[in-house]
């Protein structure tokens, strides 16, 4: 019997039991993992010791693959690249890629970023109208989601220029961002690993034209982050303000290096280094902790249990931290672009489901929107709660307590539910009887037995955010290894890009030859 079969058979045996019955005095401790102040509680799932043992049995390839990743082997086999975003937060390692020390250039670039950030923040680097007040990061996908998410998350540490993010090719996005800014005190960062992405390059040209209306030398107020030095030069950006990185840093794993420049400008080099230190701490934990004590490993295995074994197709990420509002969007790219694949590394069809749909919103807002479905809908949606022990607003500690209470209440409600007998008793007290009592009570039943995990952290500092993001990165890696896929390419985004390039002229009147009837009709309406 394969490991997968054994897990499926075991799941069938235990699928209907109430999770609540698994609790004894030790379960909460036995089914939680901690690392450097973080605590992941997965006791409110149907995983017991046997299920965990079977899940850990899926990790046969993990130690070798993990060592291969950290040592710079080309584990991104479909692109022939190493996967070394971890080096960006551990620049003292002695990793070589193609025989060359991979860290020398990283250290130089990091120092150059720090010097530039200090100049901008301290006013030594100026715009035509004086010190830089606003930074506009133009990028998309991995060149936007990470720094945009982290800049909001770390708002209490932001003491530099205001940072804005433009990603969408929809002109409304750049229009609305630029219309509030003074071009004479703005710095534009064009962030694109390839420097060919159509959305980013189009927005960069728009920003340049906007600046050129008032500023004599607009390129002097531009910086670039890219692996393509020739293209940044062709765009007119001086090499002193170009921050490069290697192709072994994947777009969605890149905010630890120059793609994080906007974040560094916002919070300063020291706090940025704390962010890196948090991620490095998670790297060390991931490399050395035993599977059952390993936070990314257990988070991945819980995900596999819910998605591939129980068949729950989506996962809700529910941060009880308003400043993590963009975490679900960030994780959508990280998890779905990495593990949303139907072909295994060896080119064969994947025999199991690929990674789940990831979605979510901060609590408590989500409670007043979609939690209805989570509690009483027909589908089971595993929930991942995140919550901090402490907020950044000591004067509003009472609000933080209410936030935490809501988070705990939701996972308890999902676990416990409310039986028909309980609902009936409640409605009886309200004076209902007979058929109406039964009807009304049934609407108030919560099936319960719905799984969730809770990730607790002390406070959302730069260090803790680094830990959390690295935790999710490694979780994606573990899931990819277990599923046997390449988590580091993204061929699935290519076809749409190619078709868009061909479609654009058709919206200007070029013949829509070869298009299906629907697309032709839509062009007819939209052109
Ligand atoms: O289209 C997908 C993608 O390649 C992402 O993987 C990447 O993060 C994004 O586009 C942006 O790419 P670039 O940084 O090269 O502009």
Q: What are phi and psi of 158, to 5 degrees?
A: -80, 110
Ligand 1 atom with least separation from CA of 145: 8
Q: In the prediction, which pLDDT does 54 show? A: 98
Cα 298 to Cα 39: distance, rounded to the nearest angstrom: 12
Is 141's C-beta closer than 6 angstroms to any atom of ligand 1? Answer: yes
Q: In the prediction, which pLDDT does 1 show? A: 64
Are the beta carbons of 180 and 291 closer than 8 angstroms? no
Q: In the prediction, which pLDDT does 230 show? A: 93
Q: In the prediction, which pLDDT does 94 show? A: 87
Q: In the prediction, which pLDDT does 413 show? A: 98
Cα 44 to Cα 27: distance, rounded to the nearest angstrom: 9
Q: Is residue 164 classed as helix, strand or coil in its secondary structure?
A: strand
Q: Which residues pair with 223 in a beta bridge?
A: 189
Mutation probe of ligand 1 site: the residue of 141, 192, 331 with most atoms within 8 A of C-beta: 141
Mutation probe of ligand 1 site: the residue of 490, 499, 500, 501 with most atoms within 8 A of C-beta: 490
Is 45's C-beta closer than 6 angstroms to any atom of ligand 1? Answer: no
Instruction: Tell me the HSE value of 323 on the side-chain side, using a 13 A CA sphere.
Output: 20
Number of neighbouring beta carbons within 10 Å of residue 56: 18
Cα 267 to Cα 151: distance, rounded to the nearest angstrom: 8
Q: In the prediction, which pLDDT does 102 show? A: 86
pLDDT lower than 50: segments of the chain:
none
Is 192's C-beta closer than 6 angstroms to any atom of ligand 1? Answer: yes
368 counts as catalytic: yes
Q: Could you tell me the distance, in angstroms and rounded to a whole number, from the CA of residue 331 to the centre of ligand 1?
A: 15
Is 146's C-beta closer than 6 angstroms to any atom of ligand 1? Answer: no
Q: Which of 216, 288, 368, 398 is catalytic?
A: 368
Distances, alpha carbon 330 to alpha carbons 152, 252, 303, 360, 481, in Å: 12, 9, 17, 11, 21
Are the beta carbons of 45 and 452 closer than 8 angstroms? yes
Ligand 1 atom with least separation from CA of 251: 8
Cα 474 to Cα 467: distance, rounded to the nearest angstrom: 11
Residue identifier of the C-alpha nearest atom 16 of ligand 1: 192
Instruction: Work out the burial of residue 421: count CB atoms within 10 Å of its CB; fewer than 13 is exposed, 13-18 middle, 19 or more buried.
Output: exposed
Q: Could you tell me the distance, in angstroms and rounded to a whole number, from the CA of residue 234 to the centre of ligand 1?
A: 20
* E strand spans, 325-478: 357-359, 383-388, 452-457
Best CA proximity match to 255, nearest among 279, 237, 233, 289: 279
Ligand 1 atom with least separation from CA of 493: 1
Cα 336 to Cα 255: distance, rounded to the nearest angstrom: 18
Mutation probe of ligand 1 site: the residue of 83, 225, 251 with most atoms within 8 A of C-beta: 251
Q: Could you tell me the distance, in angstroms and rounded to a whole number, from the CA of residue 143 to the centre of ligand 1?
A: 7
Ligand 1 atom with least separation from CA of 337: 6
- Give the pTM: 0.97
Sequence length of the chain is: 527
Cα 201 to Cα 191: distance, rounded to the nearest angstrom: 9
- Within its chain, how far is the Cα of 103 from the centroid? 25
Q: Could you tell me the distance, in angstroms and rounded to a whole number, from the CA of residue 255 to the centre of ligand 1?
A: 13
Instruction: Work out the burial of residue 140: count CB atoms within 10 Å of its CB; fewer than 13 is exposed, 13-18 middle, 19 or more buried.
Output: buried
Cα 66 to Cα 178: distance, rounded to the nearest angstrom: 44
Is 241's C-beta closer than 6 angstroms to any atom of ligand 1? Answer: no
Query: Is the torsion defined by CA of 98, 101, 106, 109 positive or negative?
Result: negative
Q: Which residues pair with 138 in a beta bridge?
A: 166, 190
What are the b/e assignments for 274-283, b being 16+ CB within 10 Å? Answer: bbbbbbbbbb
């Amino acid at each position: 019997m394969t490991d997968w079969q054994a897990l499926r058979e075991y799941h069938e045996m235990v699928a209907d039991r109430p999770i609540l019955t698994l609790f004894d005095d030790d379960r909460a401790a036995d089914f939680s993992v901690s690392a450097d102040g973080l605590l992941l509680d997965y006791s409110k799932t149907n995983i017991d010791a046997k299920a965990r043992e079977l899940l850990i049995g899926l990790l046969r390839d993990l130690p070798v693959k993990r060592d291969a990743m950290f040592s710079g082997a080309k584990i991104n086999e479909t692109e022939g690249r190493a996967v070394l975003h971890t080096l960006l937060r551990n620049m003292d390692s002695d990793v070589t890629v193609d025989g060359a020390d991979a860290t020398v250039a990283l250290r130089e670039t990091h120092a150059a970023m720090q010097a530039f950030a200090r100049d901008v923040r301290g006013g030594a680097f100026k715009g035509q109208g004086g010190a830089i007040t606003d930074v506009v990061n133009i990028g998309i996908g991995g060149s936007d989601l990470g720094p945009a998410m982290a800049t909001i998350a770390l708002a209490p540490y932001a003491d530099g220029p205001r940072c804005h993010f433009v990603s969408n090719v929809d002109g409304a996005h750049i229009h609305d961002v630029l219309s509030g800014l003074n071009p004479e005190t703005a710095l534009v960062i064009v962030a694109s690993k390839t420097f060919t992405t159509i959305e980013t390059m189009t927005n960069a040209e728009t920003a340049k034209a906007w600046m050129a209306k008032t500023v004599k030398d607009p390129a002097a107020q531009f910086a670039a982050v890219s692996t393509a030095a020739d293209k940044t030069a062709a765009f007119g950006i001086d090499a002193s303000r170009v921050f490069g990185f290697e192709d072994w840093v994947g777009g969605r794993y890149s905010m630890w290096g120059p793609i994080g420049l906007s974040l560094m400008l916002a919070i300063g080099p020291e706090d940025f280094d704390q962010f890196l230190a948090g991620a490095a701490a998670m790297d060390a934990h991931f490399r050395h902790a035993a599977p059952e004590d390993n936070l990314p490993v257990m988070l991945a295995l819980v995900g596999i249990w819910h998605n591939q074994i129980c068949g729950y197709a989506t996962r809700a990420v529910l941060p009880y931290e308003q400043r993590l509002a963009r975490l679900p969007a960030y994780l959508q790219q990280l998890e779905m672009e990495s593990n949303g694949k139907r072909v295994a590394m060896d080119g064969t069809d994947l025999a199991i489901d690929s990674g789940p749909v990831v979605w979510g919103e901060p609590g408590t807002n989500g409670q007043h929107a979609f939690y209805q479905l989570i509690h009483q809908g027909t589908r089971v949606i595993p929930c991942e709660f995140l919550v901090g022990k402490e907020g950044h607003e000591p004067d509003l500690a009472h609000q933080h307590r209410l936030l935490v209470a809501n988070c705990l209440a939701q996972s308890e409600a999902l676990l416990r539910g409310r039986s028909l007998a309980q609902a009936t008793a409640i409605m009886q007290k309200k004076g209902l009887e007979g058929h109406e009592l039964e009807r009304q009570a049934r609407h108030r039943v919560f099936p319960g037995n719905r799984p969730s995990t809770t990730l607790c952290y002390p406070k959302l500092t730069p260090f803790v955010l680094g830990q959390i993001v690295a935790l999710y990165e490694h979780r994606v890696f573990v899931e990819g290894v277990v599923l046997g896929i390449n988590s580091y390419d993204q061929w699935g985004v290519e076809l749409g890009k190619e078709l868009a390039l061909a479609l654009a002229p058709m919206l200007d009147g070029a013949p829509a030859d070869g298009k299906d009837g629907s697309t032709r009709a839509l062009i007819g309406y939209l052109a």
